[in-house]
Amino acid sequence: MALLHLPGAAQAQTFAERLVLRAEVGAGTMLAGYQRDTLLYGLDVQASARLGFTLVGPLALQASYSSWWFPSESADPGRAAGQQHSITGGLRLEPMIGSVGRFFVDVNAGLGMTGSRNRFALDGGIGFEFALGSAVGLGPALRYGRLFAASEAQDHPSDAQYWSGGLSLSVRLPRSVEAAPVDTDGDGVLDADDECPTEPAGATPDPQRPGCPARDRDGDGVSDARDLCPDVPAGDHPDPARAGCPAADADGDGVYDPQDLCPTVPQGAHPDPERPGCPDGDDDSDEVLNHADRCPQEPQGPSPDPSRPGCPAPTLAVALPPILFATDRDRILPTSYRALTAVATLLGGRAEGWRLAVEGHTDNVGSEVHNTGLAERRAQAAASWFTRHGVPAARLEVRGYGLERPIVSNDSASGRSANRRVEFRLLAPGASLGASPTGGQ
């Protein structure tokens, strides 16, 4: 709350400066039904005088004398106006809001007198006094008052409650201005406390000598009081963990230990660009280092791809409809002949080194052994179709996967029909068959 100004020790007040004289005037209405409707006290006017004493910061004690007057609205000229006088004590909270003024809220309780009766009285106020100089405040105020009815029989059956709105005025002694302290060297340490009053403490003051600069024997900019190596300069590569000390290089690879992620292993001729001070790795153990390896998690194998270092020669996936079969048979459905012809044409357009992987799949009807055998027979049936149509057997790789790799759920007849299929992949020269992508191509 940067706007709230709370006086501190440096702004100590004298007894007289703690005293405040306050006055308040206002007008309002009666709130209690009996007094308003029966006694016809509709309006009210009030005036108050208060003496305050600041306890600490914005908190003050106050003693008050208040007078409330309630003119009667009765047509009876004999009906007298109501009056209430009270002598109370209370607390007031009045923080300073920047230099604009003081917000206040107070509560007071004490003796209320109306006619010949003495009653317990309570009032509370809230307002804001704008600063009219250093000693005077003036501003709007709202106040609520209550005169409690006695418990014994009396002629007013309820508490009197009323409010007013008006102006609040405060007058206090201006603060005394103390002589400004002296700081000859302008280092923020007053001469009375400065052991070096003509020499600024600088950016690194000596904790043992107020107002003096810290000593630095090795001239590295780290004061001796903080320097763990006071006779060895920190140099161009200081150790962030040891103030005033040079950084070490335990593995001698030119990367200092605070930056070296492998401080005991030299980075060698092939450093890892992402891990300072570490050698590059070879995660797939194919003798192609990770940052040169286009396939760092896949060994390049016996048939590396010359255009992609560290990768195996590619296979060419072809997007063709699967070859479908009759249930539990290796007989190709006639609807698949067109797809077989397209695959044979695609293979025929490739160079001699390209081969075709023929992969058979089944649904989940039957045992695993049965389905694996059925898948192999289906794949072989497709391969036989190709050889009958001019594709050399040497260019065909046949494999049966059975029910291992469904492309859809086997929970429906249409799903099981889709899973009874043969799929194809074109293999580049030198590529191994490897694993078929889940779901087929």
Q: Alpha-carbon distance 372 to 267, whole Å? A: 51
Q: Alpha-carbon distance 400 to 380, whole Å? A: 9
Mean pLDDT value of segment 263-278:
86
**pLDDT classification of 152: cutoffs 50, 70, 90:** low
For 49, the enclosing helix (H) or strand (E) is: strand 43-56
Indicate whether 403 pLDDT > 80. Answer: yes
Q: Alpha-carbon distance 83 to 44, whole Å? A: 9
Mean pLDDT value of segment 21-38:
90
Q: Alpha-carbon distance 167 to 51, whole Å? A: 16
**pLDDT classification of 154: cutoffs 50, 70, 90:** low
DSSP state of 29: E
pLDDT at 237: 85
Q: Alpha-carbon distance 15 to 258, whole Å? A: 61
CB 295 within 8 A of CB 281: no
Q: Alpha-carbon distance 424 to 382, whole Å? A: 10
| Residue 221 in tokens | 């900019």
Indicate whether 439 pLDDT > 50. Answer: no
Q: Alpha-carbon distance 373 to 250, whole Å? A: 62
Mean of pLDDT over the chain: 83
**Over the range 241-251, which residues count as b (16 or more CB within 10 Å of their CB) and which as e?**
eebbbbbebeb
Mean pLDDT value of segment 202-213:
83
Mean pLDDT value of segment 57-75:
89
**pLDDT classification of 167: cutoffs 50, 70, 90:** very high
pLDDT at 102: 94
Mean pLDDT value of segment 99-113:
94
Q: Alpha-carbon distance 432 to 161, whole Å? A: 99
Indicate whether 10 pLDDT > 70. Answer: no
pLDDT at 155: 57
pLDDT at 336: 85
pLDDT at 429: 76
pLDDT tens by residue, 211-245: 888 787 888 878 877 878 888 888 888 988 888 89
pLDDT tens by residue, 349-386: 776 778 888 888 888 888 888 888 888 888 898 899 98
What's the N-to-C CA distance of the chain in angstroms?
68
**pLDDT classification of 130: cutoffs 50, 70, 90:** very high
**pLDDT classification of 157: cutoffs 50, 70, 90:** confident
On the 0-12 / 13-18 / 19+ scale of CB atoms within 10 A, 157 is: exposed
pLDDT tens by residue, 69-98: 988 877 666 667 888 999 999 999 999 999
Domains of the chain: 13-172 (2.40.160.20), 267-310 (no CATH), 315-427 (3.30.1330.60)
User: Which backbone phi and psi does 122 adopt, to 5 degrees?
Assistant: -140, 140
Indicate whether 436 pLDDT > 50. Answer: no
Indicate whether 2 pLDDT > 80. Answer: no
Mean pLDDT value of segment 106-126:
92
pLDDT at 156: 65
Of the CA atoms within 13 Å of residue 441, those in its CB half-sphere come to 16
**pLDDT classification of 1: cutoffs 50, 70, 90:** very low
Indicate whether 100 pLDDT > 80. Answer: yes
Select the more confidently predicted residue: 4 or 84.
84
pTM, two decimal places: 0.41
pLDDT at 78: 60
3-state DSSP call for residue 148? coil
3-state DSSP call for residue 326? coil
Strand 315-317 relative to strand 96-97: parallel, antiparallel, unpaired?
unpaired
What percentage of the chain exceeds 90 in pLDDT? 24
pLDDT at 111: 94
Q: At what angle do helices 368-388 and 337-348 cross, to 10 degrees?
A: 60
Select the more confidently predicted residue: 141 or 299.
141
